[in-house]
Structure 1
Amino acid sequence: MSGLRIPIEGPDGAGTARAVNVLAPNPSPMTLDGTNTWVLAEPDAQAVIVVDPGPDDEAHLRRVAERVGERRVAQVLLTHGHPDHSGGAARFARMVGAPVSALDPRHRLGSEGLSDGDVITVAGLEVRVIATPGHSFDSLCFWLPQDAAILTGDTVLGRGTTVIASDGHLGDYLHSLDRLRDTAEKAEARALLPGHGPVLPDPIGALDGYIAHRRERLDQIRRAREAGARTPREIVEIVYAGVDRSLWPAAEMSVRAQLDYLDRL
């Protein structure tokens, strides 16, 4: 297995021997530095896989195509269907003549789709599909056994924590984190390659931190309710008091997901 290649200057170009990031120019409080588009290939292979082409930004998609160069794009894979990951997929697929595979049929193009346990092999590169619903109902992660790395989409970010979107579910998300943690430990994973933010070279530490954070947030919400907070907004004002207010709408979305989870226990 090859060592990590993590540049100090930022996530663009970061990755492993078989995964290189092309950073999309869509930075925001929600997308961090922007969406990470991953180009996967065996060294010197003439065919590649592209994961999450990113938003429908022609300049970015052309940068991805330039990174691919003369090699053939055999497959486009989506970690999930949110527009910052999938918006440019159809345009990019037409640009390079490749099918698009996703769990959600609405985002597939010329492909039968993806499901848990699938194995995709392109020019000697192996990618294994791990279903990780929670952030969204259709979230997937991809395991690269040759590099002992997991592409995590929005399930685990390079900085901060992810939001449980309106099409996700916290119970599913907690189960997915536990599953990823178990996978990372058993497979001796050496890196997490997120959909936003830098590469994480300590998978177990990152996943333990995510799981602990979620449990702590649930405890904080329980205490806020005990203190009299009733609406998601009131809970956000207590639990997220120290967070930039521009992130409060996303925090409120997460609080709604957490309240739904607690009410089902």
Structure 2
Amino acid sequence: MSTVVTDRATLVLAPNPSPMTLEGTNTWILAEPGSDQAVVVDPGPLHEGHLAAVLAAVESQGRRVAATLLTHGHHDHAEGAARFAALSGSGVRALDPALRLGAEGLADGDVLEVGGLELRVLGTPGHTSDSLCFTLPAEGSLLTGDTVLGRGTTVVAHPDGRLGDYLASLRRLRALAESREATTVLPGHGPVLADPLGAVEYYLAHREQRLAQVAAAVEAGFTTPSEVVAHVYADVDRSLWPAAEWSVRAQLEYLRENR
């Protein structure tokens, strides 16, 4: 089932709900009104039913898939990309060369034009080293992958993800929101956000709060990542503690590098 979200963006939700993926992975179909070409962002997991549903949604619009893009390489976003490329006849474009298939890569500053649709590529490392966001200047939509979620906060997937990079990426997104270049967030998981500035400011405040808590825990004698998680993330569901440990490791590294 697909849902039209904006004039240029349609959502197909993958059937992979979990504490980490929320309702599931958001696969986005992007197209300029009146165009016969579409871009698919994050085909999602290797789930034949979902991939078929994405392709069917594109074809129901009278369009073909001209390009498949990845926000980053985590399996819940990218595992189905090769299969979707085979089904749709499109190439796969990503920052990580290992994820590309029959198409050139993506890099910060790239501007893509597909059937009259303009997308701008933003390098936003932090969640992972290869994380990208995409903007649709014509309508102010910002596709954030896992950099900003529709609900809750994301993890810094240490060691690939780094907290310093993530904070810099959030500040970059805040500048876009402040300038009104981004007026809607189309996230990789969770609901659409109508207040990008509020969302990014919350993320920055949350990171500052957690970093202060981790620093205090270390001063109190909690030295290993697992000890810090148990102390700082006591209010978080224990099923999320392994993911929280990624962020704690990134926070401990950040504190060591910024003493």
Shared topology, TM-score over 0.5? yes
Q: 1:44 Cα deviation (Å)? A: 2.5
Deviations 1:9-56 (A, max 9, x none): xx9625211011100000000000000000000123110000000001
1:32 aligns with 2:25: no
Letter in 2 for 1:173: Y
Contact residue 70 and residue 77 of structure 2 kept, 8 A: yes
Task: State the match for 1:71 in structure 2.
Answer: 63
SS at match of 1:113: coil
Return the letter of the residue paired with 1:259: L
| Counterpart-to-counterpart distance in 2, 1:38 and 1:142 | 11
Q: Distance in 1 between matches of 2:97 and 2:219?
A: 43
Q: 1:170 aligns with which of 146, 160, 163?
A: 163
CA contact (8 A) 1:34 1:197 kept: yes
User: 2:26 aligned with 1:42, yes or no?
Assistant: no
Which amino acid counterpart does residue 228 of structure 1 have in structure 2?
A: G
In structure 2, stretches of 5+ residues that fail to align are none
Question: Counterparts of 1:187 and 1:242 in 2: how far apart (Å)?
Answer: 35
Is 1:140 the counterpart of 2:98? The answer is no
SS at match of 2:3: coil
Distance 1:14 1:29, change over 3 A: farther
2:221 pairs with 1:231 = no
Residue 229 of structure 1: CA displacement?
0.7
- Normalised by the size of structure 1, how large is the TM-score? 0.94
Question: Following the alignment from structure 1 to structure 2, what is the Cα–Cα distance between the partners of residues 49 and 171?
Answer: 31
Partner of 1:203: 196
Letter in 2 for 1:42: E
* Alignment match, 1:219: 212
Aligned-partner residue type, residue 62 of structure 1: A
What is the one-letter code of the residue matched to 2:208?
A: R
Identity %: 64
Q: Which runs of 4+ in 1 moved over 4 A?
A: none
2:9 counterpart of 1:19: yes
Does the aligned pair in 1 maintain the 2:151–2:190 contact within 8 Å?
yes
- Contact 2:135-2:182 at 8 Å conserved across structures: no
5+ residue gaps, structure 1? 1-10
| 1:55 to 2:45 alignment | yes
- 2:137·2:181 contact (CA, 8 Å) conserved in 1? no
TM-score, reference length from structure 2: 0.96
1:158 is matched with 150
How far residue 238 of structure 1 moved from its aligned partner, in angstroms, is 1.1
Q: Cα deviation per residue 1:186-212 (whole Å; 9 max; x = unaligned)?
A: 244210110000001000000000000
Count of aligned residue pairs for this structure pair: 255
Query: 1:40 & 1:164 partners in 2: Cα distance?
Result: 27
